[in-house]
Amino acid sequence: MRLTRFFLPLLKEQPAEAQIASHRLMLRAGMIRQAASGIYTWLPLGYRVLRNVERIVHEEQAAMGANAVLMPTIQPADLWRESGRYDAYGPEMLRIRDRHDRDMLYGPTNEELITDVFRGAVSSYRDLPRILYHIQWKFRDEVRPRFGVMRGREFLMKDGYSFDIDSAAAIHSYNRHLVAYLRTFERMGLKAVPMKADTGPIGGDHSHEFLILADTGESEVFLDSAVLDLALGDRAIDFDSRDGLQAIVDQWTKPYARTDETHDAALFESAVPEARRTVRRGIEVGHIFYFGTKYSEPLGARVAGPDGAQVAVEMGSYGIGVSRLVGAAIEANHDDKGVIWPEALTPFHAGIVNLKQGDAEADAACQSIYDRLTAAGLEPLYDDRDERAGTKFAAMDLIGLPWRVTVGPRGLKSGVVELTSRRTGESQELTPEAAVAKVAAIYGR
């Protein structure tokens, strides 16, 4: 993409309304623009990152055996009356009356609707297990929306639901999600730690929140630093193996890791050697939850078991904050100059800065690098504006592309361009061909 053809309205000023780095940087880098309190338009740069998050979530959901559906944003109130949540949900639910005076609502979550889909379609244990998920906009009418996309009112979420014949099968579905989430966040270049969460009146061990560590996180977290050293890496995972998944789950969930809500100071001290006791702040980006027959019972989602008897299905629900992840990734990856994108999320793979736009040799070299990166299957952003070098560097630093190729007449005389890492700031002089090859190799092309 040529920058002159890309709608990228950068802000010079610090936006007064933004209290945290990600909100400030998303506004300044032309990623979002507020439409109303807690409601944002995603501008082209931000939308590209949002799509990357979505794509990775979709791919990892498919890999572990979930089927993608798409439920509507507007739901009938009657379903929520069946589950008893219509009155219980409170003023965060956006309630709507249609032109025929029917009560509707903008879905804040989808347990009722997916259970309705399930009960209308599945009648035998032979059709289980099922995992259905979607990535769809939700609305929660927060009293005080703040922190940009981190606590907005309209937000994009992946929510998934599992249906199983019994508790052992349901725990396997839960483990599928836990491991798929580990892979999802790891692929995004983010360190997200599963932490024991409250299961409420249902009890049991089967609720975890995933938190990304960042100084601006909303929760205080307490953890055994051993969990930070764990990584799935390239290991092949058989999601159908109950024992295999359980072993991975154990590895990640045995070390102490809790938020302030479930923290147990005495246990923390007794279970974790002092040198590994770590207290940080974290941002919640995922939550998985096994809740049994909480919705299948009232909504009548039953199947015939092997013996013919009708059984209410065992369910779980599993969320990832897709739009929130964009903000959380910035909280964990930025400096004074701007965003520093992990390679998996970056809106463009590399920036090309032409130090002397209009110089025939520099223009030709930039175009050639652009074409070669494109031919390698990468998407570069070429700053072809007629602007000073300082302005171009500041823009690249602000929007945070991981790699920048700087092209100028002086370097070209010696046959080189400069390749700069946004994260380390280190530069190296390379021939244009070598710079392209290096960037392609970084992205595995």
34 vs 262, which CB is nearer to a copy of itself?
A: 34
Residues numbered 151-180 forming contacts with a copy of itself, rule: CB under 8 A: 153-154
131 vs 190, which CB is nearer to a copy of itself?
A: 131
**Block residue for tokens 């560097």:** 393
Quick note: the x/- pattern for a copy of itself over 90-129, rule CB under 8 A, is: -xx-x-x-xx--x-x-x------x--xx--xxx-------
Determine if 358 is a binding residue for a copy of itself (CB under 8 A). no
* Contacts of 235-238 spanning 24+ positions with Cβ under 8 A: 237/179, 237/183
Residues numbered 23-52 forming contacts with a copy of itself, rule: CB under 8 A: 30, 33, 35-36, 39-44, 47-48, 50
Determine if 141 is a binding residue for a copy of itself (CB under 8 A). yes
Please give the C-alpha separations between residue 422 and each of 342, 362, 419, 430, in angstroms, as whole numbers.
10, 22, 10, 17
- Pick from 14, 16, 70, 309 the residue near a copy of itself by CB under 8 A: 70
Q: How far is the CB of 118 from a copy of itself (least distance, A)?
A: 9
94 vs 288, which CB is nearer to a copy of itself?
A: 94
Determine if 75 is a binding residue for a copy of itself (CB under 8 A). yes
Pairwise CA distance, residues 259 & 255, whole Å: 13
Binding range to a copy of itself, per CB under 8 A, among 135-143, 228-236, 276-284, 313-321? 135-143
- In this structure, the number of other CB atoms found within 10 A of the CB of residue 326 comes to 25
Q: How far is the CB of 71 from a copy of itself (least distance, A)?
A: 5
Contact 140, 90 (CB under 8 A): no
Phi-psi region of 412 (alpha: psi -120 to 50; beta: other; left: phi over 0): alpha
**Block residue for tokens 């065992």:** 314
Determine if 71 is a binding residue for a copy of itself (CB under 8 A). yes
Quick check: helix, strand or coil at residue 29?
Answer: coil
Determine if 143 is a binding residue for a copy of itself (CB under 8 A). yes
Q: How far is the CB of 78 from a copy of itself (least distance, A)?
A: 9
Helix (H) or strand (E) holding 324: helix 322-332
- In this structure, the number of other CB atoms found within 10 A of the CB of residue 372 comes to 18
Pick from 435, 318, 429: nearest CA to 376: 435
Cα 279 from chain centroid (whole Å): 23
Residues that bind a copy of itself (CB under 8 A): 5-7, 9, 30, 33, 35-36, 39-44, 47-48, 50, 65, 67-76, 91-92, 94, 96, 98-99, 102, 104, 106, 113, 116-117, 120-122, 130, 132, 137, 139, 141, 143, 153-154
